[in-house]
A and B are shown apart, each in its own frame.
Chain A
Amino acid sequence: MAKTDALQGSLDLLVLKILSRRAPLHGYGIMTAIEEISGDALRVEEGSIYPALHRMEEAGLVRAKWIEKSNGRRARSYEMTARGRKQLTSEEARWTAVTSAVQRVLKLA
């Protein structure tokens, strides 16, 4: 439970961040990228990544297209839109504000 909680407010942020560097990526790829980079400190629930992606697609933050893979299968890959880039900036700022605020509370002795 703790893990999902931690991600609740930040899944969008992480997805956008990943896509800002490694687009286009399919859902699975985004998921594994988050886990890899965080050194498995962050785990993404498979049940939450697709609703999140589709919601962001609907909101125009990301867009998707089908990409033919070498093994002949198609994969739906996502990349970030200009609006997504803007959203990323503000999400990042918010994240920084939140963490530093928590840090301030935690540092109370």
Chain B
Amino acid sequence: MYEPNTDVIQGTLDMLILKTLSLEPMHGFGIARRIEQISRGVFKVNPGSLLTAFQRLERVGWLNSEWRQTDKSRRAKFYSLTRSGRKQLEIETTNWNRRASAIARLLKAEG
């Protein structure tokens, strides 16, 4: 049996989270929903991976979090981007673009 990896690539998920949070602070559920929406369902965000990603990103100081009321007046953890997070997003975006275009080149290359 051969199954290709269908998960969201780990490094890519970090980048997508950072990117999404660069627009506005959000709670976890919202982030997942936003990513799923914008990717038109290509990414199914696993809540588990999402949570570990938040913890890791917060530990390295790219995210801040605080408990806030949601619009449905429930408590939820809201995440926002730190300064170094914003910088990291730039680095990751550049890296990603480079890699993606390299692979694209390779796929398009003839001979």
Direct chain A–B contact by Cβ atoms under 8 Å: yes
- CB within 8 Å of B: which residues of A? 1-3, 5-6, 8-10, 12-14, 17-18, 21-22, 34, 37-39, 41-42, 55-56, 59-61, 87, 90-92, 94-95, 97-102, 104-106, 108-109
Interface class of chain B by DSSP: helix
Find chain A residues with CB under 8 A from B60 CB.
none
Chain B 1-41 interface 0/1 with A at a Cβ cutoff of 8 Å (1 = within):
11011110111100110011001000000000001001110
Q: How far is the CB of B109 from chain A (nearest CB, A)?
A: 5
- CB within 8 Å of A: which residues of B? 1-2, 4-7, 9-12, 15-16, 19-20, 23, 35, 38-40, 42-43, 92-93, 95-96, 98-107, 109-111
Residue of B nearest to A56 (CB): B2
Q: How far is the CB of A91 from chain B (nearest CB, A)?
A: 6
